[in-house]
Amino acid sequence: MDWDKIEKARKGLRTCVESEGIGCPLSCPYYEPCMSDPRHIYSPMMNDVLTEYERMMEQIKALEAARIPRLLTLEEIRALPLGAVIWLEYKAVDEDGYTDISLHPVMRSVCCGDAVLCDGESQTEIDTITLEPDECGGMERYWSARPTDEQRKAVAWDE
């Protein structure tokens, strides 16, 4: 998404609304092309357009922030809506010290009345998730979105 173009459009709308049709200020990023357009007429409806535009931009920013990969807490995992997809990262260390780390999507679902995370092959009841090492020494952590390798390596495992 080109935030510079969006910000330029927002600034143009804002300066147009604030001028209230008296005349376009030189601070408007569209001053030249706008004044050369014979159809240029200020309308009070621009206030509604600007308000709606700013509301939509806040929603877009919130959605984009929500898709930035970050580790989820137990409370966030348990509060997931039905159908939500998150990423499970599992770290296992065998008796020889070999470490295997896997990453795959899981979806919030319901099975036999229990809230579960399933990946198509297996499922885990949400109420049993502890984020602590399991009996074999394996650990799991859950991401809000698919992390890059760099993001995964940048966050230390809580062991």
Average pLDDT of the residues of the chain? 76
What is the distance between the alpha carbons of residues 154 and 114, in angstroms, rounded to a whole number?
34
Q: Summarize pLDDT for 51-90 with one digit per residue, the tens.
A: 777 777 787 777 677 678 999 988 888 888 888 888 999 9
What is the distance between the alpha carbons of residues 56 and 50, in angstroms, rounded to a whole number?
10
Q: Summarize pLDDT for 133-146 with one digit per residue, the tens.
A: 777 667 889 998 88
Of the given ranges (22-31, 56-65, 90-99), which has the lowest mean pLDDT? 22-31
What is the distance between the alpha carbons of residues 15 and 30, in angstroms, rounded to a whole number?
10
- Domain residue spans in the chain? 3-66, 74-154
What is the distance between the alpha carbons of residues 114 and 106, in angstroms, rounded to a whole number?
15
Report which of residues 59 and 24 the model is more confident about: 59
